[in-house]
């Protein structure tokens, strides 16, 4: 991505009719366009009531004109804004006039892109603008504002700072072996690295929460045939999405429905009941069910209240109960409590008794899902994040783990340094800020090399 030096323009307000419509111009021609269209010189950052004219001197509209001289503007360039009457025809005429004076139509997101390229904001902040506009719930909006204010970037910067110091330490150990200090084995690298991994996990958990609130929670309904999964899907979706019968093995394929709970997006997937089978179609369906379960943010394991015991749970679902990666995302939903109102209590997991058919316990289930999305605990410390950020953080953690293995296994400084570099690159993708020069600058300024 390189800086661009032409002038762009766009209608900044939503399409359609409105009380006010805004045309925004950014680039070196902004000032000239403002002077020609308003037929006066605008004082920067001062709202000026003015006519907006075409090249023949006819008034197109009247409104407020604002000029921001770079770098003190949203994009960092000269920016001209005209706030006129919000009719689509008027806005189009104002926009055409800006084009006639040399501006071109902006691509989507190009104002924010320029703000990023001109160091007015980092990538997480630029993305937060889009997230704030697209927010489908109050919580998602609060998180996007936190990211916009730099909360996410600040966390990443702290990690980058710690990583840079660690690289500095490791690379100097490689560069100056004659110093005879066994840098790698003095415990400092070990403890810095494990601190870094812990911090990185914490940021990952926060970012994951942010991504779930932004993108919606992926909930999978799992269980044996006839447990009532499809009935629950229909009840939550409030329509007959899935086929329900009393024949075990009715659902063969996965089926996803998108709903909102108190404005929070939720993607609910019904799956084929899991059992041993010789039927090829059903086997494929069960394989798909297992894949969906693996990828879920939350698994609702539906159990039949009539035939349930705590011991039986262990025997029936060893692959669920004993899997460490399911531990934090598994909820036991005991269905058909209308047939057995006193199901056994099962320690160790969240348990929600319901009747999918009669709607009993659904409010509790919904509250539980909202809580698992972190809705109740949305605080100042949360920020919006995207899958891209999670992917980068995960890669960073992978490289840090590899680095730790190098340190433990062979005390291989060069390989550890390379893993740290890769971890730093992955983190740098999140904010778009890292440059190798930065690291070099740090190394040379803080070490007295003298040789
Ligand atoms: N009494 C009672 N019956 C229920 C309840 N929920 C579901 N059922 C019945 O249980 C049977 C199976 O329901 P489904 O929703 O098709 O079960 P499923 O888990 O999707 O089954 P498969 O698709 O075969 O895996 C149907 O006859 C439902 O009416 C409930 O809460 N109470
Ligand atoms: Mg079903």
Q: Of 57-66, 144-153, 190-199, 369-378, give the lowest mean pLDDT range.
A: 369-378
Confidence band for 434, pLDDT divided at 50, 70 and 90: low
Confidence band for 441, pLDDT divided at 50, 70 and 90: very low
**What is the 351 CA–ligand 2 centroid distance (Å)?**
21
Candidate from 248, 249, 288, 357 with most ligand 1 atoms within 8 A of CB, to mutate: 357
Residues in CB range of 36: below 8 A, 6 or more apart: 55, 101
254: Cβ below 6 Å to ligand 1?
Answer: no
What pLDDT score was predicted for residue 442? 45
271: Cβ below 6 Å to ligand 1?
Answer: no
Q: Does residue 39 or residue 413 have the better pLDDT?
A: 39
- What mean pLDDT value characterizes the chain? 87
CATH fit for domain 138-212+384-444, picks 3.40.50.300, 1.10.730.10, 3.30.465.10, 1.20.120.430: 1.20.120.430
Is the pLDDT score of 436 beyond 70? no
Q: 175 vs 161, 170, 272, 418, CA distance in Å? A: 21, 9, 59, 14
- Estimate to the nearest angstrom the gap between the alpha carbon of 360 and the chain centroid: 34
Residue 379's SS3 state is coil
Helix ranges (DSSP H) in 135-187? 138-148, 151-175
CA 251 to ligand 1: nearest atom: 23
Q: Express as a percent the part of the chain with pLDDT over 90.
A: 57
228: Cβ below 6 Å to ligand 1?
Answer: yes
Report the b/e string of 379-396 with b at 16+ CB within 10 A.
eeebbbbbeebbebbebb
What pLDDT score was predicted for residue 451? 21
**Cα 248 to Cα 255: distance, rounded to the nearest angstrom:** 17
Stretch 380-403: mean pLDDT, rounded?
A: 87
Stretch 353-363: mean pLDDT, rounded?
A: 95
Stretch 26-39: mean pLDDT, rounded?
A: 96
Contact 297, 329 (CB under 8 A): yes
What pLDDT score was predicted for residue 32? 96
Stretch 416-437: mean pLDDT, rounded?
A: 82
**Cα 351 to Cα 26: distance, rounded to the nearest angstrom:** 56
DSSP 195-214: HHHHHHHHHHHHHHHHHHHH
pTM above 0.75, yes or no: no
* Sign, Cα dihedral of 143, 144, 147, 152: positive
**Cα 154 to Cα 150: distance, rounded to the nearest angstrom:** 6
| Closest-approaching ligand to the CA atom of 285 | 1
Q: Express as a percent the part of the chain with pLDDT over 70.
A: 91
**Cα 416 to Cα 422: distance, rounded to the nearest angstrom:** 10
Contact 166, 192 (CB under 8 A): yes
The single residue listed with the structure tokens 């997101």 is 109
**What is the 184 CA–ligand 2 centroid distance (Å)?**
57
Stretch 149-166: mean pLDDT, rounded?
A: 91
Pairing of strands 264-270, 255-261: antiparallel
Is the pLDDT score of 449 beyond 70? no
Candidate from 221, 223, 226 with most ligand 1 atoms within 8 A of CB, to mutate: 226
Q: Is 165 exposed, middle or buried (0-12, 13-18, 19+ CB in 10 A)?
A: middle
Nearest residue (by CA) to ligand 1, atom 21, is: 226
Stretch 314-330: mean pLDDT, rounded?
A: 81
Confidence band for 3, pLDDT divided at 50, 70 and 90: low
DSSP class of 298: E
**Cα 201 to Cα 111: distance, rounded to the nearest angstrom:** 33
- Estimate to the nearest angstrom the gap between the alpha carbon of 15 and the chain centroid: 27
What pLDDT score was predicted for residue 393? 95
What pLDDT score was predicted for residue 161? 92
250: Cβ below 6 Å to ligand 1?
Answer: yes
Candidate from 221, 228, 301, 352 with most ligand 1 atoms within 8 A of CB, to mutate: 228
Note the pLDDT tens digit of each residue in 114-137.
898 899 988 888 888 888 888 877
The domain limits of the chain are 8-121, 138-212+384-444, 218-373
Is the pLDDT score of 258 beyond 80? yes
Confidence band for 2, pLDDT divided at 50, 70 and 90: low
Q: Of 66-70, 237-241, 335-339, 411-415, give the lowest mean pLDDT range.
A: 411-415
Is the pLDDT score of 112 beyond 90? no
**Cα 16 to Cα 86: distance, rounded to the nearest angstrom:** 8
Residue 287 phi, psi (nearest 5): -65, -40
Confidence band for 381, pLDDT divided at 50, 70 and 90: low
Confidence band for 379, pLDDT divided at 50, 70 and 90: low
Query: Residue 311 — left, alpha, or beta (φ > 0 → left; ψ -120 to 50 → alpha)?
Result: alpha
CATH superfamily of 218-373: P-loop containing nucleotide triphosphate hydrolases (3.40.50.300)
Top CATH class of 8-121 equals alpha beta
Residues in CB range of 24: below 8 A, 6 or more apart: 9, 10, 11, 12, 79, 80, 81, 111
What pLDDT score was predicted for residue 378? 52
Confidence band for 110, pLDDT divided at 50, 70 and 90: confident
Is the pLDDT score of 210 beyond 90? no
**What is the 344 CA–ligand 2 centroid distance (Å)?**
24
**What is the 245 CA–ligand 2 centroid distance (Å)?**
8
Confidence band for 58, pLDDT divided at 50, 70 and 90: very high
**What is the 232 CA–ligand 1 centroid distance (Å)?**
8
Among candidate residues 212, 228, 211, 229, the one with its CA nearest the CA of residue 220 = 229
Strand ranges for 347-414 from DSSP E: 351-353
**Cα 26 to Cα 81: distance, rounded to the nearest angstrom:** 9
Same fold, 8-121 and 218-373: no
């Amino acid at each position: 991505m390189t800086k661009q030096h032409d002038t762009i323009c766009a209608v900044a307000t939503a399409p359609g009719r409105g009380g006010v419509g805004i045309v925004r111009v950014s680039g070196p021609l902004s000032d000239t366009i403002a002077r020609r269209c308003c037929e006066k010189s605008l004082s920067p950052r001062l709202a000026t009531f003015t006519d907006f004219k075409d090249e023949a001197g006819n008034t197109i509209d009247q409104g407020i004109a604002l000029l921001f001289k770079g770098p003190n503007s949203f994009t960092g360039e000269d920016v001209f804004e005209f706030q006129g009457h919000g009719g689509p025809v008027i806005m189009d005429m104002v926009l055409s006039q800006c084009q006639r004076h040399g501006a071109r139509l902006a691509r989507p997101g190009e104002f924010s892109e320029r703000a990023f390229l001109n160091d007015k904001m980092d990538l997480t902040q630029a993305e937060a603008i889009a997230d704030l506009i697209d927010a489908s719930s109050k919580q998602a909006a609060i998180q996007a504002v936190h990211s916009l204010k730099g909360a996410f970037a600040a966390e990443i910067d702290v990690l980058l700072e710690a990583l840079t110091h660690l690289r500095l330490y490791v690379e100097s150990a490689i560069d100056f072996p004659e110093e005879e200090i066994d840098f790698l084995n003095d415990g400092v690298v070990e403890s810095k690295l494990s601190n870094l991994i812990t911090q990185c996990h914490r940021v990952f958990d926060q970012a994951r929460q942010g991504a779930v609130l932004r993108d919606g929670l992926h909930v999978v309904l799992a269980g044996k045939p006839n447990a009532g999964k499809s009935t629950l899907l229909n009840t939550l979706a409030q329509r007959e999405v899935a086929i329900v019968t009393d024949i075990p093995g009715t659902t063969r394929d996965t089926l996803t429905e998108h709903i909102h709970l108190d404005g929070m997006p939720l993607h609910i997937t019904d799956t084929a009941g899991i059992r041993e089978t010789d039927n090829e179609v059903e086997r494929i369906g069960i394989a798909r069910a297992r894949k969906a379960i693996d990828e879920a943010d939350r698994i609702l394991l539906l159990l039949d209240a009539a035939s349930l015991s705590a011991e039986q749970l262990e025997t029936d679902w060893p692959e669920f109960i004993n899997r460490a990666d399911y531990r934090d995302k598994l909820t036991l939903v005991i269905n058909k409590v209308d047939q057995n109102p006193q199901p056994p209590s099962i320690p160790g997991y969240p348990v929600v008794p319901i009747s999918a058919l009669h709607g009993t316990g659904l409010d509790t289930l919904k509250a539980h899902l909202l809580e698992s999305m972190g809705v109740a605990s949305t605080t100042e410390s949360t920020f919006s994040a995207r899958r891209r950020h999670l992917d980068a953080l995960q890669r960073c953690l992978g490289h840090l783990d590899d680095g730790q293995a190098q340190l433990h296994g062979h005390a291989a400084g060069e390989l550890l340094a390379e893993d740290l570099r890769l971890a730093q690159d992955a983190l740098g993708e999140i904010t778009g800020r890292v440059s190798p020069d930065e690291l070099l600058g740090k190394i040379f300024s803080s070490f007295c090399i003298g040789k």
